[in-house]
Structures are given as structure tokens and as C-alpha cells.
Amino acid sequence: MLELIKTNSDNSDFKSLIIQLDDFLKITDGEDHDFYNQYNGLDTINHVVVAYINNKPVGCAAFKPFDKSTVEIKRMFTTKAARGQGVAKAVLNLLEIWAKQLDYQYSILETGIRQLEAIQLYKSCNYKITDNYGQYKGIDQSLCFKKEL
């Protein structure tokens, strides 16, 4: 059974999942990893969701305020064993509900062009490709998305 909890970046299961995410991205991002990794520090994040199946942490994501009306989704990850079970959609949906409850109107995110599963997920969750924002402007390896909440 899937269970979702709201927490923050101090959560030990979130930290453990992020280590797995970073290991995965080192391989997937290849030579571009150092560029992306500089924007993925684990400073205090107040809005984190961790997913559990049978009390085992299997997925996570977070959001940070981007501006007064927009949150940025960060650190989205599902373990290999839990992929294809709706974990990522459930985590993303709860983050969107949480952001909307806090009066945000939009959600944005960035993923690498090599992250084919992530791109498919975001499209299936009604995210639309948008111009690259912030540090991703002019970066050909980045693909940015936006959704009205």
C-alpha cells in the first residue's frame, strides 16, 4: 500500500532517497552532471513529500517557492523497484495540492533532455514545455515545464 507523508528536508528517508537520486543522475547526466548538481543542494526545504510502500521509502520530491505565485518542483525520484506503480504521480499530485493550498498558482520544473521517463511523466500530468528559466536559460540539455495549479 502506498503511503505519502509531508515533511521537510531534515527527514532521513528523504536524505537517503536523494543519495540514490544523485547516484542515478551521475550516470544519466554524464558530463553535464556537475552543472546540474550545483543547483540541487539540500539546504532547508520546507515542503517535501516522501512515498512509502510497505513502510519502505520508495519515492520523493519537494517544492521551493520560485516567486509569489510559483513553486519549483525539485528532487523528484522513485526507486527502480517502485517505478511504474504510480508513485511519482502520487507524489507530484500531493505537492501540487499542497502548493495550491498555500495560494500558489503555478508549478515549474526542469529536467534533463536525457530523462525520458521524467519527461513522459510531466507531460502525462499536464505540464507544458515552457521557456527555460533562471539558471537553465540557454542550456540546451535542459527542458523546462510549467503547469497552472
Residue pair 45/7 in contact by the 8 Å Cβ criterion: no
**Mean pLDDT score across all residues of the chain:** 90
Does pTM surpass 0.85? yes
What is the pLDDT, as a whole number, of residue 29? 54
Classify 62 as helix, strand or coil: strand
Higher pLDDT residue, 44 or 81? 81
Sequence letter at residue 95: L
Which of 39-53, 83-97, 110-124 has the lowest average pLDDT?
Answer: 39-53
pLDDT tens track for 17-69 = 999 998 877 656 555 545 455 455 557 899 999 999 999 999 999 999 999 99
